[in-house]
Copies of this chain bind each other. A is one copy, B any other.
């Protein structure tokens, strides 16, 4: 039992993790703390000397605009490191916030750098994880752009469900956690709060998917997938 187990599991899910690399990971120093829902973790402009590991819970990243608007750019599940990129990019161009009560761990850059120096295969795996992040950004760009609000919403729901599934976070009645409020959902899709609400309502009424009490339940996966034009290739879960 280590705080780092979720990281090991996450990396194993996107590629093959050797025993040596696993041990390197488990030897990383880590300091954990609790973060309450809606509390900031790292701020736009910061130059952190550690990277955050989500031990449990869910975080999101967002950019703050000059006019006060917000753009969510990603969400992150247990085992992920939302600001791994600060290893090679000093200053944060966005902020990190907890979507629900979470336990996070801080891992010093120095230690990660040492691990990376020690193992080429571990480097490859961590690099790969940042590349998958980028692939997700591209899809979100399309969610905000050409895909349009309805398909974009459906696409986001597909992604949440699939990523939760591979993280083993889907319960028996096919629901997974989704602690976004509708404002945050709107900020992730670049639409208004009211429109987000109406889009969700439409999906519910068509018997496709519902969000209730912070959980997403997909009632008709094929319909949701079709509405989204969802192709899971971009999550690159298989092709390591």
Say which one of A64-72, A159-167, A199-207 lies at the interface with B: A64-72
- How far apart are A153's CB and chain B's nearest CB, in angstroms? 13
When C-beta atoms are compared, the residue in chain B nearest to A129 turns out to be: B88
A89-B141 in contact given A116-B120, A120-B117 (Cβ < 8 Å)? no
Choose from B85, B123, B133, B138 the contact partner of A123 (Cβ within 8 Å): B123
A30 within 8 A of B: no
| Residue ranges of A at the interface with B (Cβ–Cβ < 8 Å) | 45, 47, 63, 65-67, 69-71, 73, 85, 88-91, 93-94, 116-117, 120, 123-124, 127-128, 130-135, 137-142, 144-147, 187, 189-190, 229, 231, 233-234, 236, 239
Contact of A233 among B93, B138, B139 (CB under 8 A): B93
A88 and B146 contacting across the interface, CB-CB below 8 Å: no
Known pairs A71-B141, A71-B146, A144-B190 / 11 extra A-B pairs, C-beta < 8 Å: A63-B142, A65-B142, A65-B147, A67-B229, A85-B131, A88-B124, A91-B236, A93-B233, A130-B134, A133-B134, A137-B138
Task: State how many copies of this chain the complex holds.
Answer: 2
Q: How far is the CA of A223 from the CA of B45 in the complex (A)?
A: 23
Within 8 Å CB of A88, what residues of B?
124, 127-128, 131
> Which of A120, A138, A233 gathers most chain B CB within 10 Å?
A138
Q: From B71, B85, B234, give the contact of A145 (CB < 8 A).
A: B71
CA distance in complex: A239, B47 (Å)? 10
Nearest CB of chain B from residue A58's CB, rounded to whole Å = 19
- A141-B93 contact, Cβ under 8 Å, with A123-B123, A127-B127: no
How near does chain B come to A130, taking the closest CB pair, in angstroms? Answer: 6
Give the complex CA separation of A83 and B92 in angstroms: 24
Q: List 9 A-B contacts (CB under 8 A).
A: A71-B146, A73-B142, A89-B131, A89-B236, A93-B234, A117-B120, A127-B130, A144-B145, A145-B190
Whether the pair A131, B128 counts as a contact (CB closer than 8 A) is no
For A71, list chain B residues within 8 Å (CB). 141-142, 145-147
* Interchain CA distance A131-B91 in the complex, whole Å: 12
CA distance A146 to B193 in the complex (A): 12
The CA-CA distance from A234 to B124 in the complex, in Å, is 24
A139 cross-chain contacts in B, Cβ below 8 A: 63, 93
Residues of B within 8 A of A70 (CB): 146
